[in-house]
Amino acid sequence: MKPSHIEHIGIAVNDLDESIKYYQNVLGLECYNIEEVKDQKVKTAFFKVGDTKIELLESTDPEGPIGKFVEKKGEGIHHIAFAVNNIEEKLRHAEENGVRLIDSVPRKGAEGLNIAFLHPKSTFGVLTELCEDNNK
């Protein structure tokens, strides 16, 4: 599959504004985008660290995926996203290798990227996102 880099690390938080303060004031990173992803029922905040981003995720609905995650596991790392080309082909490759797909077809994520998730039960406990940037 050979991803080019880690596109972002998704971190579930209870309070976006409070957590942004930590990333800005303590780590000295700059929040360059805040965006609501309605179909995922989240508000997101982005920071760049080299080629990798930190994506903070606050749930806007307790029934949404992040709401359920925080309820069950508390705040913390939610997923890791790898940057890939030809995301459809990479998904087929994963499937052929016995990986369970959450998204069998890519969809639009934050920042207009094409994204698809692999099921953590097939990826040794890590919710894994594949990410293709067609804007580049």
Q: What residue ranges bind Zn ion (CB under 5 A)?
A: 10, 81, 129
Q: 48-73 as b/e, with b when 16 or more CB fall inside 10 Å?
A: eeeeebbbbbbbbeeebbbbebbeee
> Taking CB positions, which residue lies at the least distance from Zn ion?
10
Min separation Cβ 2 and Zn ion, Å: 19
Measured from the CB atom, the residue of 10 and 65 that comes closer to Zn ion is 10
CA distance 83 to 60: 26
> CB of residue 81 vs Zn ion: minimum separation in angstroms?
5
Q: Of the two residues 11 and 92, which places its CB atom closer to Zn ion in the complex? A: 11
Q: Kindly state the tokens that stand for 23.
A: 């990333």
